[in-house]
Amino acid sequence: MRLRSSRWPGSALRAAAAFACIGAAFVYGGGAAAAEAGFGPRAVQDPYFGQPLFDFYQDRYFSALTELMASQQLGRMPHHVDEAEILRGGLFLSYGLHREAADIFQRLIDQGAPPGVRDRAWYYLAKIRYQRGLAAEAEQALDRVRGRLPGELEVDRALLKGNLLMRRGDYAAAAQVLEPLVDSDGASLYARYNLGVALVRSGSVARGSELLDEVGVVPGTTEEIRSLRDKANVALGFAALRDKDAERAKVYLERVRLTGLMANKALLGYGWAAEAMNDPKSALVSWLELSGRDGGDAAVLESRLAVPYALAQIGAEGQALQQYGAAIHAYDDESASLDESIADIRGGKLLEGLVASNPGEEMGWFWNIDRLPPMRHAAHLVGVLALHDFQEGFKNYRDLLFLARNLRLWESKMDTFGDMLVNRRQAYAVRLAQLGMQARDAGLARLEARQAALETELQAEAQGGDGAAFADAHERALAARIERARAALRRLEVAGAAGIDGAPGEGARREAADRLRRVDGALGWQLGQELPSRLWDTRKQMRQIAVELAQAHDRQQRLARAQQEEPQRFDGFAQRIQALQERIQALKPRVAQLIVQQRQAVEELAVAELQQQKEDLVAYGNQARFAVAQIFDRANRAAAAPGAARSGEGPPAAPAEAPDGQPAAVPNAAPNSVPDAVPKAAPDAAPSAAPADRRSDPQGAEPPAAEPADDHVKR
């Protein structure tokens, strides 16, 4: 079963979200609000700030807050220090932690903030506190607003101020605050309604009624306006009844829709107005319509007494007795149903059903009850769910369930982290052995000695070398061929000197020697020419070798340190995991105990409300029984009076039980007897049905006009 309207006032959500968005939407979303606050569009420079922002806009406030606080602790958002604090304050506010949010905001104010941002944030904080019933704290925050707020926010601020003043009973001051709003162009209906309430309560009934009358005839273009119009007309109607002006009360109450939220109360009041005008038939029409509606409404329950009263007024006392019997029967049935609902609540079906019917991804103040649980008499719960304390208590209960699930999740994560640490230790041991073997195979000391020898040789070549040390492979091959040619030429000279036959002559040997000398000279010249560049390249390579050897030496030192430090790090992680496991184990029973206590507290709130309904039913039933007794008593007295009895006539007998359990009608009841014990309104008094007014009007017997309307639907 979907609730018709069980959400928190829209402004509560908007106010908390707007506070959080001072650091998010105002700064990063641009637009008029950002311009008014002195900010322009800005890019997110730190990715660790972008992640909680993303979760915030996805309504995952717990994840956003967790990530934000972790990144703040680790210093990951150097470019968004203030914005992160404002967002954290807004997220605290979304959980109702208004004091913590105010501390954050005050600290940022002390550090210096644009006046526009400061005033707007204090206003939103005041609005949230007002929604949570913290009137004094809301006034304190609202008084911190120094300048004029932009646009409609200034009107909202005045309306909020007026509501706060009326809440503490200072209606004259509230009227002074609200009067300028009504005199301005485009004044909202809420301003007119609230000013009318304040004026009526402060004694200016004529002026207040005039304003409420203006609201009561405004064209209903939206459901919001139609509901406010009905509320104004009901307020005017009951105020007229209180002033003994039944005719005017009927005019006001006739304006109320038969299908609106105020319809039942209007039908009840219309009946009393008709009765005060000595028109019981019209009253009966209104009350009969009302008596057939849902019996969970106090006005409906009272109408079931008013119907037989009206029947008695028109002389139908037999039908009146039958209706009284039907009312008693209905009250008894409803009381039994309430007993069943109370048993279901104490059996846990209410909270379990609410949690199952209204799932949510995360905890948070913005979450609300949208569906009734599948219970035998779910209609009884509408009044329960309308209780502010129940809504707050159930959200706390749901948040505790979320925390319990979160603790179980982290408990499993701790086991996973422990397994990961064991695997890391094993992998480290294997890798350490491999690195140790690689370090031994590298022979770092031998390489360093080789480098030193090469440096010495390089210095020698640089001082007096001919470049042969820097020859490439081709040049070294040419030098080897030249050496072989010299050796061959020496052998030929020996053979020629010895007179060996076939040996080349001296001229041929001389020509070959000249050619060899030229080739050797060309090679030497080439090596000499390229010596500077090759010497520079070689020195560059030697420097790179030195760097790489230094890096290898550093890695070897770090490896040695790791052998000492890494086991300590592993031990530190193990200790941290153990500490967190112990903390989780300590928190689990504490949260479980709080869940039980909160569950009992919320269930007792619901049971207390249903018990009060049972007491109302008992009171109604007693009044109905007393009225029946009075009818019979008067009938007996009339029958016993001299000359009253005729042959075959006498006092009415006790009513026989009808097949449906209701008393049968008594046709001989005296037509002029009036059961004066029913809770009726005399022609000179407003309706006195306290039980009905207790639920439909918190001000008791006072007219509904005393109940200011919160301007929290549009904004």
Share of the chain above pLDDT 70, in %: 79
Please state, in angstroms and rounded to a whole number, the distance separating the CA atoms of residues 140 and 156. Answer: 16
The confidence score (pLDDT) of residue 510 equals 82
List pLDDT tens digits, range 305-339.
899 988 888 888 888 889 999 999 988 988 898 99
The confidence score (pLDDT) of residue 622 equals 92
More confident residue, 687 or 55: 55
Helix axis angle for 388-442 and 349-357, nearest 10°, is 60
Across 70-84, 202-216, 371-385, 676-690, least confident range: 676-690
Give me the sign of the Cα torsion angle 178, 184, 188, 193: positive
The confidence score (pLDDT) of residue 465 equals 66
For residues 183-212, b (16+ Cβ closer than 10 Å) or e, as one string?
A: eeeebbbbbbbbbbbbbbbbebbebbbebb
Q: Residue 220's CB: how many other CB atoms inside 10 A?
A: 15
Domains, the chain, with CATH or none:
1-150 (1.25.40.10), 439-587 (no CATH)
DSSP bridge pairs for 663: 657
More confident residue, 557 or 27: 557
pTM: 0.63
Closest CA to 238 of 681, 634, 691, 714: 681
Closest CA to 624 of 335, 246, 266, 193: 335
The confidence score (pLDDT) of residue 604 equals 93
More confident residue, 693 or 334: 334
Contact between 128 and 141 (Cβ < 8 Å): no
For residue 21, pLDDT beyond 80: no
Q: Return the structure tokens found at 331.
A: 């009250």
Tell me which amino acid residue 196 is: G
Closest CA to 188 of 634, 556, 648, 714: 714
Please state, in angstroms and rounded to a whole number, the distance separating the CA atoms of residues 26 and 38. Answer: 9
Measured between alpha carbons, how far apart are the two ends of the chain, in Å?
28
Contact between 338 and 614 (Cβ < 8 Å): yes
Q: Return the structure tokens found at 266.
A: 């209007």
DSSP codes joined into one string, 8-50:
PPHHHHHHHHHHHHTTTHHHHS-HHHHHHTT--------HHHH
List pLDDT tens digits, range 122-133.
887 888 778 777
Three-state secondary structure call for residue 337? helix
Tell me which amino acid residue 520 is: D
Contact between 277 and 634 (Cβ < 8 Å): no
The mean pLDDT of the chain is 76
The confidence score (pLDDT) of residue 38 equals 39
* Cβ contacts of 680 within 8 Å, gap of 6 or more: 272, 275, 306, 309
Across 214-223, 489-498, 622-631, least confident range: 489-498
More confident residue, 508 or 326: 326
Contact between 194 and 230 (Cβ < 8 Å): no
List pLDDT tens digits, range 33-57.
334 443 445 688 888 998 888 888 8
List pLDDT tens digits, range 166-220.
988 899 999 988 888 876 655 578 888 888 889 888 888 888 888 888 888 888 8
List pLDDT tens digits, range 375-412.
888 778 877 887 878 888 888 888 888 889 989 999 99
Contact between 26 and 34 (Cβ < 8 Å): yes
Q: How far is CA 541 from the centre of its chain?
A: 64
The confidence score (pLDDT) of residue 441 equals 56
The confidence score (pLDDT) of residue 674 equals 27
Q: Which pLDDT band, with edges at 50, 70 and 90, does 546 fall under?
A: confident
For residue 665, pLDDT beyond 80: no
Q: Return the structure tokens found at 333.
A: 């049935």
The confidence score (pLDDT) of residue 272 equals 93
Please state, in angstroms and rounded to a whole number, the distance separating the CA atoms of residues 238 and 426. Answer: 82
Q: Which pLDDT band, with edges at 50, 70 and 90, does 365 fall under?
A: low
Q: Which pLDDT band, with edges at 50, 70 and 90, does 525 fall under?
A: confident
